[in-house]
Structure 1
Protein backbone atom coordinates (compact mmCIF):
# COMPACT_ATOMS: atom_id res chain seq x y z
CA UNK A 1 0.00 0.00 0.00
CA UNK A 2 2.82 2.35 0.85
CA UNK A 3 4.33 1.77 -2.59
CA UNK A 4 1.15 2.84 -4.38
CA UNK A 5 0.73 5.96 -2.23
CA UNK A 6 4.32 6.98 -2.96
CA UNK A 7 3.81 6.45 -6.67
CA UNK A 8 0.69 8.61 -6.67
CA UNK A 9 2.46 11.42 -4.82
CA UNK A 10 5.38 11.28 -7.26
CA UNK A 11 3.07 11.54 -10.24
CA UNK A 12 1.26 14.44 -8.60
CA UNK A 13 4.45 16.39 -8.14
CA UNK A 14 5.68 15.55 -11.61
CA UNK A 15 2.49 17.36 -12.29
CA UNK A 16 1.54 16.51 -15.81
CA UNK A 17 0.85 13.09 -17.25
CA UNK A 18 -0.80 11.70 -20.32
CA UNK A 19 -2.28 8.25 -20.57
CA UNK A 20 -1.50 6.73 -23.95
CA UNK A 21 -1.69 3.09 -24.94
CA UNK A 22 -2.12 2.19 -21.30
CA UNK A 23 1.06 3.90 -20.18
CA UNK A 24 1.52 7.00 -18.08
CA UNK A 25 3.98 9.43 -19.56
CA UNK A 26 5.00 12.80 -18.06
CA UNK A 27 4.79 15.61 -20.59
CA UNK A 28 7.34 17.76 -18.77
CA UNK A 29 9.31 17.73 -15.54
CA UNK A 30 7.80 19.26 -12.43
CA UNK A 31 10.52 21.91 -12.16
CA UNK A 32 10.13 23.04 -15.78
CA UNK A 33 8.74 26.49 -16.50
CA UNK A 34 8.83 28.65 -19.64
CA UNK A 35 12.24 30.31 -20.09
CA UNK A 36 12.37 33.82 -21.51
CA UNK A 37 14.34 34.07 -24.76
CA UNK A 38 13.76 37.76 -25.44
CA UNK A 39 11.22 40.51 -24.72
CA UNK A 40 12.26 42.99 -27.41
CA UNK A 41 9.21 42.69 -29.66
CA UNK A 42 5.88 44.47 -30.14
CA UNK A 43 3.60 41.43 -30.54
CA UNK A 44 4.83 37.96 -31.47
CA UNK A 45 2.87 35.39 -33.46
CA UNK A 46 2.94 32.55 -35.95
CA UNK A 47 5.83 30.22 -35.01
CA UNK A 48 6.71 27.53 -37.56
CA UNK A 49 9.45 24.93 -37.49
CA UNK A 50 11.57 23.88 -40.47
CA UNK A 51 12.93 20.39 -41.12
CA UNK A 52 16.11 21.08 -39.13
CA UNK A 53 14.20 22.31 -36.07
CA UNK A 54 14.81 26.05 -36.53
CA UNK A 55 11.81 28.16 -35.55
CA UNK A 56 10.55 31.17 -37.48
CA UNK A 57 8.06 33.58 -35.92
CA UNK A 58 6.52 36.95 -36.65
CA UNK A 59 6.58 40.33 -34.93
CA UNK A 60 3.52 41.65 -36.71
CA UNK A 61 3.46 45.32 -35.62
CA UNK A 62 7.14 45.67 -36.56
CA UNK A 63 6.55 43.82 -39.86
CA UNK A 64 9.35 41.29 -39.36
CA UNK A 65 9.89 37.55 -39.42
CA UNK A 66 12.50 36.31 -36.97
CA UNK A 67 14.50 33.09 -36.77
CA UNK A 68 15.36 31.22 -33.56
CA UNK A 69 17.89 28.60 -34.59
CA UNK A 70 18.65 25.25 -32.99
CA UNK A 71 21.64 26.79 -31.17
CA UNK A 72 19.40 29.36 -29.49
CA UNK A 73 20.46 32.32 -31.63
CA UNK A 74 17.96 35.00 -32.67
CA UNK A 75 18.20 36.81 -36.01
CA UNK A 76 15.92 38.73 -38.36
CA UNK A 77 14.97 36.53 -41.30
CA UNK A 78 12.90 39.09 -43.19
CA UNK A 79 11.89 42.74 -43.06
CA UNK A 80 8.79 44.05 -44.83
CA UNK A 81 7.12 40.71 -44.20
CA UNK A 82 3.58 41.60 -45.23
CA UNK A 83 2.51 42.02 -41.61
CA UNK A 84 2.67 38.24 -41.42
CA UNK A 85 0.67 36.50 -38.73
CA UNK A 86 0.41 32.69 -38.81
CA UNK A 87 3.05 30.74 -40.75
CA UNK A 88 3.79 27.13 -41.72
CA UNK A 89 6.37 25.34 -43.88
CA UNK A 90 5.34 23.38 -46.94
CA UNK A 91 7.09 20.24 -48.20
CA UNK A 92 9.58 22.25 -50.28
CA UNK A 93 10.68 24.36 -47.27
CA UNK A 94 8.82 27.46 -48.41
CA UNK A 95 7.37 29.46 -45.55
CA UNK A 96 3.65 30.04 -46.15
CA UNK A 97 2.55 33.22 -44.38
CA UNK A 98 -0.80 34.79 -43.57
CA UNK A 99 0.23 38.23 -44.80
CA UNK A 100 -2.62 40.39 -43.66
CA UNK A 101 -1.13 43.76 -44.63
CA UNK A 102 -3.05 43.29 -47.87
CA UNK A 103 -5.03 40.21 -46.76
CA UNK A 104 -3.02 37.69 -48.74
CA UNK A 105 -1.35 34.31 -48.52
CA UNK A 106 2.38 34.46 -49.28
CA UNK A 107 4.90 31.82 -50.24
CA UNK A 108 8.38 32.85 -49.04
CA UNK A 109 11.33 30.88 -50.39
CA UNK A 110 14.60 30.27 -48.55
CA UNK A 111 16.13 33.23 -50.39
CA UNK A 112 13.16 35.42 -49.33
CA UNK A 113 11.50 35.55 -52.73
CA UNK A 114 7.80 36.26 -52.26
CA UNK A 115 5.04 34.74 -54.36
CA UNK A 116 1.48 35.85 -53.66
CA UNK A 117 -0.60 32.67 -53.65
CA UNK A 118 -3.95 34.23 -52.84
CA UNK A 119 -5.43 37.70 -52.47
CA UNK A 120 -9.20 37.33 -52.87
CA UNK A 121 -12.21 35.04 -52.69
CA UNK A 122 -14.77 35.30 -55.49
CA UNK A 123 -13.50 38.77 -56.30
CA UNK A 124 -13.72 40.04 -52.73
CA UNK A 125 -10.88 40.93 -50.41
CA UNK A 126 -10.21 38.32 -47.74
CA UNK A 127 -10.94 39.31 -44.15
CA UNK A 128 -7.31 38.79 -43.17
CA UNK A 129 -5.80 35.28 -43.16
CA UNK A 130 -4.80 34.55 -39.59
CA UNK A 131 -3.50 31.03 -39.00
CA UNK A 132 -2.48 28.19 -41.31
CA UNK A 133 -1.77 24.47 -41.47
CA UNK A 134 -0.47 22.53 -44.49
CA UNK A 135 -0.95 18.83 -45.13
CA UNK A 136 1.62 16.52 -46.73
CA UNK A 137 0.09 17.13 -50.15
CA UNK A 138 0.74 20.88 -49.72
CA UNK A 139 -2.94 21.75 -49.45
CA UNK A 140 -3.16 24.92 -47.36
CA UNK A 141 -5.85 25.16 -44.68
CA UNK A 142 -6.31 28.61 -43.16
CA UNK A 143 -8.65 30.69 -41.03
CA UNK A 144 -9.95 34.07 -42.15
CA UNK A 145 -11.45 36.07 -39.26
CA UNK A 146 -11.62 39.85 -39.23
CA UNK A 147 -9.47 41.91 -36.88
CA UNK A 148 -9.46 45.59 -37.75
CA UNK A 149 -5.86 46.72 -38.28
CA UNK A 150 -4.66 50.28 -37.84
CA UNK A 151 -2.66 49.97 -41.06
CA UNK A 152 -5.76 49.22 -43.17
CA UNK A 153 -7.67 51.95 -44.98
CA UNK A 154 -10.87 49.88 -44.93
CA UNK A 155 -13.06 49.95 -41.84
CA UNK A 156 -15.30 46.95 -42.55
CA UNK A 157 -14.89 43.55 -44.23
CA UNK A 158 -15.74 42.79 -47.85
CA UNK A 159 -16.95 39.35 -46.81
CA UNK A 160 -19.92 39.06 -44.48
CA UNK A 161 -18.82 35.66 -43.10
CA UNK A 162 -15.73 34.54 -41.16
CA UNK A 163 -14.60 31.35 -42.81
CA UNK A 164 -12.24 28.38 -42.80
CA UNK A 165 -10.69 27.75 -46.23
CA UNK A 166 -8.47 25.31 -48.06
CA UNK A 167 -6.31 26.32 -51.00
CA UNK A 168 -5.63 23.08 -52.83
CA UNK A 169 -2.18 22.59 -54.30
CA UNK A 170 -1.86 24.24 -57.69
CA UNK A 171 -5.17 26.08 -57.43
CA UNK A 172 -5.66 29.84 -57.49
CA UNK A 173 -8.97 30.03 -55.61
CA UNK A 174 -9.76 28.65 -52.16
CA UNK A 175 -12.65 26.39 -51.18
CA UNK A 176 -14.80 27.49 -48.26
CA UNK A 177 -15.01 24.67 -45.70
CA UNK A 178 -16.98 26.15 -42.81
CA UNK A 179 -18.02 29.43 -41.22
CA UNK A 180 -17.68 30.46 -37.58
CA UNK A 181 -18.11 33.44 -35.31
CA UNK A 182 -14.35 34.06 -35.49
CA UNK A 183 -12.13 31.14 -36.56
CA UNK A 184 -8.53 31.39 -35.43
CA UNK A 185 -6.11 28.59 -34.42
CA UNK A 186 -5.90 25.62 -36.77
CA UNK A 187 -3.91 22.38 -36.94
CA UNK A 188 -4.22 18.97 -38.54
CA UNK A 189 -2.89 15.54 -37.67
CA UNK A 190 0.23 14.16 -39.40
CA UNK A 191 -1.78 11.52 -41.25
CA UNK A 192 -3.90 14.26 -42.80
CA UNK A 193 -7.14 12.72 -41.58
CA UNK A 194 -8.23 15.13 -38.85
CA UNK A 195 -8.42 18.92 -38.57
CA UNK A 196 -8.91 20.99 -35.41
CA UNK A 197 -10.11 24.60 -35.57
CA UNK A 198 -10.65 27.09 -32.78
CA UNK A 199 -13.66 29.37 -32.94
CA UNK A 200 -12.19 31.99 -30.62
CA UNK A 201 -15.31 34.10 -31.07
CA UNK A 202 -17.54 31.37 -29.62
CA UNK A 203 -15.08 29.75 -27.18
CA UNK A 204 -15.13 26.32 -28.84
CA UNK A 205 -12.74 23.85 -30.47
CA UNK A 206 -14.09 21.82 -33.39
CA UNK A 207 -12.84 18.57 -34.87
CA UNK A 208 -13.37 17.44 -38.47
CA UNK A 209 -12.57 14.46 -40.64
CA UNK A 210 -10.61 15.44 -43.75
CA UNK A 211 -11.80 13.75 -46.95
CA UNK A 212 -9.53 12.67 -49.81
CA UNK A 213 -10.59 15.70 -51.85
CA UNK A 214 -9.59 18.04 -49.00
CA UNK A 215 -13.14 18.78 -47.88
CA UNK A 216 -14.31 18.38 -44.30
CA UNK A 217 -16.97 16.13 -42.83
CA UNK A 218 -18.20 14.85 -39.46
CA UNK A 219 -17.90 18.16 -37.62
CA UNK A 220 -17.77 17.61 -33.86
CA UNK A 221 -17.64 19.95 -30.91
CA UNK A 222 -14.37 18.67 -29.47
CA UNK A 223 -13.90 21.04 -26.53
CA UNK A 224 -16.57 23.37 -25.13
CA UNK A 225 -15.70 26.51 -23.18
CA UNK A 226 -12.17 26.63 -24.58
CA UNK A 227 -10.57 28.49 -27.43
CA UNK A 228 -7.15 29.04 -28.86
CA UNK A 229 -5.28 31.76 -30.66
CA UNK A 230 -2.86 29.09 -31.85
CA UNK A 231 -2.78 25.28 -31.67
CA UNK A 232 -0.12 22.59 -31.89
CA UNK A 233 0.08 18.95 -30.85
CA UNK A 234 2.58 16.35 -29.71
CA UNK A 235 3.40 12.78 -30.66
CA UNK A 236 0.79 11.45 -28.20
CA UNK A 237 -2.00 13.40 -29.87
CA UNK A 238 -2.36 16.02 -27.13
CA UNK A 239 -3.55 19.45 -28.24
CA UNK A 240 -1.78 22.57 -26.92
CA UNK A 241 -4.02 25.64 -26.92
CA UNK A 242 -2.41 29.08 -26.71
CA UNK A 243 -4.26 31.92 -25.01
CA UNK A 244 -4.04 32.72 -21.33
CA UNK A 245 -0.99 30.53 -20.99
CA UNK A 246 -0.96 27.10 -22.61
CA UNK A 247 -3.73 24.58 -21.92
CA UNK A 248 -3.13 20.95 -22.84
CA UNK A 249 -5.93 18.51 -23.74
CA UNK A 250 -5.61 14.79 -24.38
CA UNK A 251 -6.97 13.11 -27.55
CA UNK A 252 -10.35 12.63 -25.85
CA UNK A 253 -10.72 16.36 -25.16
CA UNK A 254 -9.94 16.17 -21.44
CA UNK A 255 -7.78 18.93 -19.98
CA UNK A 256 -4.64 17.39 -18.49
CA UNK A 257 -2.38 20.40 -17.80
CA UNK A 258 -1.89 24.13 -17.92
CA UNK A 259 1.40 25.96 -18.40
CA UNK A 260 1.45 29.45 -16.93
CA UNK A 261 3.23 32.04 -19.06
CA UNK A 262 4.12 35.36 -17.36
CA UNK A 263 2.68 37.55 -20.13
CA UNK A 264 -0.79 39.03 -20.80
CA UNK A 265 -1.41 36.71 -23.76
CA UNK A 266 0.17 33.68 -25.42
CA UNK A 267 -0.67 33.96 -29.08
CA UNK A 268 0.82 30.81 -30.58
CA UNK A 269 3.05 27.78 -30.11
CA UNK A 270 5.03 25.10 -31.89
CA UNK A 271 7.60 22.41 -31.13
CA UNK A 272 11.12 22.85 -32.43
CA UNK A 273 14.79 22.23 -31.76
CA UNK A 274 16.98 19.43 -33.10
CA UNK A 275 14.95 16.81 -31.24
CA UNK A 276 11.56 18.61 -31.60
CA UNK A 277 11.19 18.62 -27.81
CA UNK A 278 11.39 22.39 -27.33
CA UNK A 279 8.01 24.06 -26.88
CA UNK A 280 8.28 27.55 -28.36
CA UNK A 281 5.74 30.13 -27.19
CA UNK A 282 5.03 33.53 -28.73
CA UNK A 283 3.62 35.61 -25.90
CA UNK A 284 2.82 39.31 -26.28
CA UNK A 285 6.14 41.21 -26.47
CA UNK A 286 8.24 38.13 -25.76
CA UNK A 287 9.10 34.59 -26.80
CA UNK A 288 9.68 31.67 -24.43
CA UNK A 289 10.96 28.11 -24.65
CA UNK A 290 10.26 25.11 -22.45
CA UNK A 291 11.86 21.68 -22.58
CA UNK A 292 9.35 18.86 -22.96
CA UNK A 293 9.52 15.09 -22.57
CA UNK A 294 7.45 14.57 -25.71
CA UNK A 295 8.08 15.53 -29.31
CA UNK A 296 6.06 17.74 -31.58
CA UNK A 297 4.81 16.32 -34.86
CA UNK A 298 4.60 19.38 -37.13
Structure 2
Protein backbone atom coordinates (compact mmCIF):
# COMPACT_ATOMS: atom_id res chain seq x y z
CA UNK A 1 0.00 0.00 0.00
CA UNK A 2 1.44 3.35 -1.04
CA UNK A 3 1.20 6.17 1.47
CA UNK A 4 1.10 9.70 0.13
CA UNK A 5 2.36 12.52 2.29
CA UNK A 6 1.76 16.20 1.74
CA UNK A 7 4.35 18.15 3.71
CA UNK A 8 3.42 21.68 4.68
CA UNK A 9 5.32 24.24 2.59
CA UNK A 10 7.65 26.67 4.30
CA UNK A 11 5.95 30.10 4.17
CA UNK A 12 7.74 32.78 2.19
CA UNK A 13 8.34 35.95 4.20
CA UNK A 14 7.46 39.19 2.40
CA UNK A 15 7.73 42.78 3.60
CA UNK A 16 4.92 45.18 2.74
CA UNK A 17 5.49 48.79 1.78
CA UNK A 18 3.40 51.87 2.50
CA UNK A 19 1.05 52.50 -0.42
CA UNK A 20 -0.54 55.59 1.09
CA UNK A 21 -1.62 57.06 4.42
CA UNK A 22 -4.03 59.60 5.79
CA UNK A 23 -2.60 63.07 5.15
CA UNK A 24 -2.16 65.41 8.10
CA UNK A 25 -5.19 67.46 7.06
CA UNK A 26 -7.46 64.41 7.48
CA UNK A 27 -6.11 63.28 10.83
CA UNK A 28 -8.02 64.28 13.97
CA UNK A 29 -4.90 64.83 16.06
CA UNK A 30 -5.64 65.45 19.73
CA UNK A 31 -9.39 65.11 19.23
CA UNK A 32 -11.26 62.85 21.64
CA UNK A 33 -13.87 60.36 20.44
CA UNK A 34 -16.40 58.11 22.11
CA UNK A 35 -14.75 55.11 20.42
CA UNK A 36 -11.32 55.96 21.84
CA UNK A 37 -12.77 56.67 25.27
CA UNK A 38 -14.21 53.16 25.37
CA UNK A 39 -11.58 51.21 23.41
CA UNK A 40 -8.33 53.06 24.09
CA UNK A 41 -8.77 54.05 27.70
CA UNK A 42 -9.44 57.67 26.81
CA UNK A 43 -6.23 58.07 24.81
CA UNK A 44 -6.96 60.18 21.74
CA UNK A 45 -6.37 58.56 18.36
CA UNK A 46 -6.33 60.53 15.11
CA UNK A 47 -7.94 57.68 13.14
CA UNK A 48 -8.50 53.92 13.03
CA UNK A 49 -8.79 52.76 9.44
CA UNK A 50 -10.51 49.53 8.38
CA UNK A 51 -12.70 47.92 5.70
CA UNK A 52 -10.74 48.19 2.39
CA UNK A 53 -12.63 47.46 -0.83
CA UNK A 54 -11.98 48.32 -4.50
CA UNK A 55 -14.45 49.71 -7.02
CA UNK A 56 -14.33 48.92 -10.74
CA UNK A 57 -12.17 51.97 -11.46
CA UNK A 58 -9.46 50.79 -9.08
CA UNK A 59 -10.25 53.25 -6.29
CA UNK A 60 -9.78 51.87 -2.79
CA UNK A 61 -12.49 52.73 -0.26
CA UNK A 62 -11.86 52.41 3.47
CA UNK A 63 -13.39 53.62 6.74
CA UNK A 64 -12.37 55.42 9.91
CA UNK A 65 -14.21 53.95 12.91
CA UNK A 66 -13.78 56.63 15.64
CA UNK A 67 -14.94 59.56 13.55
CA UNK A 68 -17.54 57.95 11.30
CA UNK A 69 -15.72 58.68 8.06
CA UNK A 70 -15.25 57.01 4.68
CA UNK A 71 -12.22 57.69 2.48
CA UNK A 72 -11.27 56.94 -1.09
CA UNK A 73 -7.74 56.43 -2.37
CA UNK A 74 -7.08 56.75 -6.10
CA UNK A 75 -4.89 54.17 -7.88
CA UNK A 76 -2.07 56.68 -7.38
CA UNK A 77 -2.68 56.77 -3.62
CA UNK A 78 -4.31 60.19 -3.30
CA UNK A 79 -6.72 60.08 -0.35
CA UNK A 80 -9.88 62.15 -0.01
CA UNK A 81 -12.78 62.06 2.42
CA UNK A 82 -16.14 61.29 0.85
CA UNK A 83 -18.41 60.94 3.89
CA UNK A 84 -18.72 61.72 7.59
CA UNK A 85 -21.75 60.78 9.66
CA UNK A 86 -22.84 59.79 13.17
CA UNK A 87 -21.71 56.21 13.44
CA UNK A 88 -18.85 53.73 13.76
CA UNK A 89 -18.25 52.14 10.34
CA UNK A 90 -16.15 49.02 10.75
CA UNK A 91 -16.51 47.12 7.45
CA UNK A 92 -17.11 48.18 3.84
CA UNK A 93 -17.94 46.11 0.78
CA UNK A 94 -19.09 47.04 -2.72
CA UNK A 95 -22.04 45.19 -4.22
CA UNK A 96 -21.82 43.88 -7.79
CA UNK A 97 -24.21 46.69 -8.81
CA UNK A 98 -21.76 49.29 -7.47
CA UNK A 99 -23.58 50.20 -4.28
CA UNK A 100 -21.42 50.63 -1.19
CA UNK A 101 -22.48 48.93 2.04
CA UNK A 102 -21.10 49.55 5.53
CA UNK A 103 -21.14 47.37 8.63
CA UNK A 104 -21.64 49.94 11.37
CA UNK A 105 -21.17 49.05 15.03
CA UNK A 106 -23.77 51.57 16.17
CA UNK A 107 -26.29 51.54 13.36
CA UNK A 108 -26.30 48.12 11.66
CA UNK A 109 -25.91 47.72 7.90
CA UNK A 110 -25.76 51.08 6.13
CA UNK A 111 -25.76 52.24 2.51
CA UNK A 112 -23.33 54.92 1.28
CA UNK A 113 -23.89 57.20 -1.71
CA UNK A 114 -20.33 58.06 -2.81
CA UNK A 115 -21.47 61.04 -4.85
CA UNK A 116 -23.38 62.90 -2.13
CA UNK A 117 -21.72 61.30 0.89
CA UNK A 118 -25.14 60.43 2.33
CA UNK A 119 -25.26 57.37 4.61
CA UNK A 120 -28.68 55.79 5.15
CA UNK A 121 -29.91 52.63 6.93
CA UNK A 122 -30.20 49.44 4.87
CA UNK A 123 -30.80 46.97 7.73
CA UNK A 124 -30.98 48.54 11.17
CA UNK A 125 -32.18 45.58 13.27
CA UNK A 126 -33.38 42.00 13.36
CA UNK A 127 -37.16 42.05 13.76
CA UNK A 128 -36.91 45.25 15.86
CA UNK A 129 -34.16 43.80 18.06
CA UNK A 130 -30.95 45.80 17.74
CA UNK A 131 -27.72 44.14 16.70
CA UNK A 132 -24.88 43.64 19.19
CA UNK A 133 -22.50 45.57 16.94
CA UNK A 134 -21.97 44.76 13.26
CA UNK A 135 -18.36 44.27 12.24
CA UNK A 136 -17.71 42.99 8.71
CA UNK A 137 -19.59 41.85 5.62
CA UNK A 138 -19.24 39.80 2.43
CA UNK A 139 -21.37 39.33 -0.69
CA UNK A 140 -22.13 36.02 -2.35
CA UNK A 141 -22.23 35.79 -6.14
CA UNK A 142 -26.00 36.27 -6.20
CA UNK A 143 -25.79 39.41 -4.08
CA UNK A 144 -26.73 37.76 -0.78
CA UNK A 145 -25.08 39.56 2.11
CA UNK A 146 -23.30 37.74 4.93
CA UNK A 147 -22.28 39.80 7.95
CA UNK A 148 -20.98 39.42 11.48
CA UNK A 149 -22.58 40.81 14.62
CA UNK A 150 -19.68 40.87 17.04
CA UNK A 151 -20.48 43.37 19.77
CA UNK A 152 -18.35 42.77 22.86
CA UNK A 153 -18.57 38.99 22.68
CA UNK A 154 -15.59 36.79 23.47
CA UNK A 155 -14.62 33.68 25.40
CA UNK A 156 -16.54 35.13 28.37
CA UNK A 157 -19.66 35.55 26.24
CA UNK A 158 -19.64 33.31 23.13
CA UNK A 159 -22.86 34.69 21.65
CA UNK A 160 -21.60 36.51 18.55
CA UNK A 161 -23.75 36.02 15.48
CA UNK A 162 -23.37 35.55 11.75
CA UNK A 163 -26.29 36.60 9.54
CA UNK A 164 -27.30 36.06 5.94
CA UNK A 165 -29.58 38.68 4.38
CA UNK A 166 -31.44 38.45 1.08
CA UNK A 167 -32.20 42.07 0.32
CA UNK A 168 -34.67 41.20 -2.43
CA UNK A 169 -36.94 39.04 -0.29
CA UNK A 170 -36.12 40.68 3.02
CA UNK A 171 -35.27 37.32 4.57
CA UNK A 172 -32.72 37.48 7.39
CA UNK A 173 -31.27 34.23 8.74
CA UNK A 174 -29.05 33.86 11.79
CA UNK A 175 -26.58 31.16 10.76
CA UNK A 176 -24.83 30.83 14.13
CA UNK A 177 -25.11 32.61 17.47
CA UNK A 178 -22.30 30.93 19.41
CA UNK A 179 -19.14 32.64 18.18
CA UNK A 180 -16.78 34.37 20.65
CA UNK A 181 -16.13 37.53 18.62
CA UNK A 182 -17.00 36.86 14.93
CA UNK A 183 -15.16 39.27 12.65
CA UNK A 184 -14.05 38.93 9.00
CA UNK A 185 -15.72 36.40 6.75
CA UNK A 186 -15.46 35.09 3.20
CA UNK A 187 -17.08 32.32 1.16
CA UNK A 188 -15.01 29.65 -0.53
CA UNK A 189 -14.92 29.42 -4.34
CA UNK A 190 -17.85 26.96 -4.45
CA UNK A 191 -19.83 29.02 -1.89
CA UNK A 192 -20.44 25.93 0.23
CA UNK A 193 -18.12 26.97 3.06
CA UNK A 194 -18.04 30.24 4.98
CA UNK A 195 -14.69 31.02 6.58
CA UNK A 196 -15.03 33.10 9.74
CA UNK A 197 -12.38 34.95 11.73
CA UNK A 198 -13.12 34.54 15.44
CA UNK A 199 -10.88 37.19 16.91
CA UNK A 200 -11.01 36.53 20.64
CA UNK A 201 -10.67 32.78 20.11
CA UNK A 202 -7.56 33.54 18.00
CA UNK A 203 -8.91 31.26 15.29
CA UNK A 204 -10.55 30.90 11.89
CA UNK A 205 -13.63 28.69 11.78
CA UNK A 206 -15.03 26.73 8.85
CA UNK A 207 -18.83 26.87 8.59
CA UNK A 208 -20.32 24.36 6.17
CA UNK A 209 -23.54 25.50 4.49
CA UNK A 210 -26.01 22.69 3.85
CA UNK A 211 -28.18 22.58 0.68
CA UNK A 212 -31.03 23.96 2.80
CA UNK A 213 -28.88 26.96 3.66
CA UNK A 214 -28.31 26.08 7.31
CA UNK A 215 -24.91 25.75 8.95
CA UNK A 216 -25.01 22.07 9.81
CA UNK A 217 -21.33 21.69 10.62
CA UNK A 218 -18.85 24.13 12.11
CA UNK A 219 -15.23 23.40 12.83
CA UNK A 220 -11.83 24.87 13.53
CA UNK A 221 -9.86 25.62 10.35
CA UNK A 222 -6.81 27.54 11.61
CA UNK A 223 -5.65 28.14 15.19
CA UNK A 224 -3.28 30.99 16.03
CA UNK A 225 -1.51 31.84 19.28
CA UNK A 226 -0.04 34.91 20.91
CA UNK A 227 -0.50 38.53 19.93
CA UNK A 228 -2.71 41.19 21.44
CA UNK A 229 -5.83 40.41 19.41
CA UNK A 230 -6.25 37.74 16.72
CA UNK A 231 -7.58 37.09 13.21
CA UNK A 232 -9.49 40.08 11.86
CA UNK A 233 -10.16 40.59 8.12
CA UNK A 234 -10.16 37.73 5.62
CA UNK A 235 -9.75 37.48 1.86
CA UNK A 236 -9.88 34.59 -0.62
CA UNK A 237 -7.27 33.74 -3.21
CA UNK A 238 -8.15 32.64 -6.73
CA UNK A 239 -6.58 29.32 -5.79
CA UNK A 240 -9.06 28.75 -2.95
CA UNK A 241 -6.74 29.78 -0.15
CA UNK A 242 -7.56 32.03 2.77
CA UNK A 243 -5.73 35.24 3.66
CA UNK A 244 -5.85 36.14 7.35
CA UNK A 245 -4.96 39.52 8.84
CA UNK A 246 -3.51 38.76 12.27
CA UNK A 247 -4.00 42.09 13.98
CA UNK A 248 -1.93 42.62 17.07
CA UNK A 249 1.00 40.84 15.43
CA UNK A 250 1.52 43.06 12.38
CA UNK A 251 1.23 40.03 10.10
CA UNK A 252 -0.93 38.84 7.23
CA UNK A 253 -0.90 35.11 6.51
CA UNK A 254 -1.65 33.57 3.12
CA UNK A 255 -2.83 29.96 3.35
CA UNK A 256 -3.49 27.40 0.66
CA UNK A 257 -6.83 25.61 0.37
CA UNK A 258 -5.76 23.14 3.07
CA UNK A 259 -5.04 25.92 5.53
CA UNK A 260 -1.27 25.57 5.28
CA UNK A 261 0.64 28.89 5.42
CA UNK A 262 2.47 29.56 2.14
CA UNK A 263 3.40 33.21 2.70
CA UNK A 264 3.45 35.74 5.51
CA UNK A 265 3.49 39.49 5.02
CA UNK A 266 5.12 41.74 7.61
CA UNK A 267 4.03 45.30 8.35
CA UNK A 268 6.69 48.06 8.20
CA UNK A 269 4.60 50.34 10.43
CA UNK A 270 2.62 48.91 13.34
CA UNK A 271 0.93 45.79 14.65
CA UNK A 272 -2.58 46.79 13.58
CA UNK A 273 -2.94 44.80 10.36
CA UNK A 274 -6.74 44.68 10.48
CA UNK A 275 -8.07 43.97 6.99
CA UNK A 276 -7.07 43.52 3.36
CA UNK A 277 -8.24 43.48 -0.26
CA UNK A 278 -6.66 42.20 -3.46
CA UNK A 279 -6.09 44.68 -6.27
CA UNK A 280 -3.61 45.81 -8.89
CA UNK A 281 -2.78 44.10 -12.21
CA UNK A 282 -4.15 40.54 -12.30
CA UNK A 283 -5.10 40.84 -8.63
CA UNK A 284 -1.56 39.97 -7.52
CA UNK A 285 -1.23 42.85 -5.04
CA UNK A 286 -2.64 42.83 -1.52
CA UNK A 287 -3.62 46.11 0.14
CA UNK A 288 -3.73 46.09 3.94
CA UNK A 289 -5.15 48.56 6.45
CA UNK A 290 -2.61 49.25 9.20
CA UNK A 291 -4.94 50.87 11.68
CA UNK A 292 -2.46 52.04 14.31
CA UNK A 293 -0.66 54.36 11.88
CA UNK A 294 -3.54 55.28 9.55
CA UNK A 295 -1.72 53.67 6.64
CA UNK A 296 -2.56 51.46 3.67
CA UNK A 297 0.16 48.89 3.06
CA UNK A 298 0.81 47.02 -0.16
CA UNK A 299 2.63 43.84 -1.11
CA UNK A 300 3.13 42.49 -4.64
CA UNK A 301 3.21 38.70 -4.76
CA UNK A 302 5.94 37.30 -7.04
CA UNK A 303 4.48 35.36 -9.99
CA UNK A 304 6.28 32.20 -8.96
CA UNK A 305 4.18 32.00 -5.77
CA UNK A 306 1.00 31.71 -7.81
CA UNK A 307 -0.97 33.92 -5.41
CA UNK A 308 -3.72 36.19 -6.70
CA UNK A 309 -7.07 37.36 -5.44
CA UNK A 310 -10.43 35.79 -6.19
CA UNK A 311 -12.47 38.17 -8.41
CA UNK A 312 -14.46 40.73 -6.47
CA UNK A 313 -17.94 41.92 -7.42
CA UNK A 314 -16.61 45.44 -7.84
CA UNK A 315 -14.53 44.16 -10.76
CA UNK A 316 -17.19 41.87 -12.28
CA UNK A 317 -19.37 42.56 -15.29
Q: Do both share a fold (TM > 0.5)? A: yes
Residue 203 of structure 1 deviates from its aligned partner by 1.8
User: Which sections of structure 2, spanning at least 5 residues, go unmatched?
Assistant: 1-8, 28-46, 313-317
Quick one: structure 1 residues 190 and 92, their matched pair in 2 at CA, closer, same or farther if it must change by over 3 Å? farther
SS of equivalent residue, structure 2 residue 66: helix
Quick one: structure 1 residues 71 and 286, their matched pair in 2 at CA, closer, same or farther if it must change by over 3 Å? closer
What is the CA–CA distance in structure 2 between the aligned matches of 1:114 and 1:213, rounded to whole Å? 34
Residue 213 of structure 1 deviates from its aligned partner by 5.0
Residue 199 of structure 1 deviates from its aligned partner by 1.3
Equivalent residues in 2 for 1:265-284, closer than 5 Å = 265-284=272-291
Quick one: structure 1 residues 32 and 201, their matched pair in 2 at CA, closer, same or farther if it must change by over 3 Å? closer
TM-score scaled by length of structure 2: 0.74
What is the CA–CA distance in structure 1 between the aligned matches of 2:244 and 2:208, rounded to whole Å? 20
What is the CA–CA distance in structure 2 between the aligned matches of 1:219 and 1:172, rounded to whole Å? 26
1:47-78 CA deviation, whole Å, 9 max, x = no partner?
11223332111111122111122233222222
What is the CA–CA distance in structure 1 between the aligned matches of 2:14 and 2:48, rounded to whole Å? 28
Residue 259 of structure 1 deviates from its aligned partner by 1.3
**The one of 282, 289, 308 aligned to 1:295:** 308
Quick one: structure 1 residues 115 and 215, their matched pair in 2 at CA, closer, same or farther if it must change by over 3 Å? farther
- Per the alignment, residue 119 of structure 1 pairs with 124
Quick one: structure 1 residues 32 and 146, their matched pair in 2 at CA, closer, same or farther if it must change by over 3 Å? closer
What is the CA–CA distance in structure 2 between the aligned matches of 1:270 and 1:215, rounded to whole Å? 28
TM-score scaled by length of structure 1: 0.79
- Per the alignment, residue 44 of structure 1 pairs with 49
**The one of 87, 91, 98 aligned to 1:86:** 91
What is the CA–CA distance in structure 1 between the aligned matches of 2:257 and 2:190, rounded to whole Å? 15
Residue 215 of structure 1 deviates from its aligned partner by 3.1
- Per the alignment, residue 108 of structure 1 pairs with 112
Quick one: structure 1 residues 182 and 164, their matched pair in 2 at CA, closer, same or farther if it must change by over 3 Å? same
Alpha-carbon RMSD across the aligned residues, in angstroms, is 2.6
- Per the alignment, residue 179 of structure 2 pairs with 180
- Per the alignment, residue 167 of structure 1 pairs with 165
User: Which sections of structure 1, spanning at least 5 residues, go unmatched?
Assistant: 1-10, 17-29, 149-158
Residue 36 of structure 1 deviates from its aligned partner by 4.5
What is the CA–CA distance in structure 2 between the aligned matches of 1:286 and 1:59, rounded to whole Å? 11
Contact 2:132/2:149, CA 8 A, preserved across alignment: yes
Quick one: structure 1 residues 181 and 31, their matched pair in 2 at CA, closer, same or farther if it must change by over 3 Å? closer
Contact 1:66/1:78, CA 8 A, preserved across alignment: yes
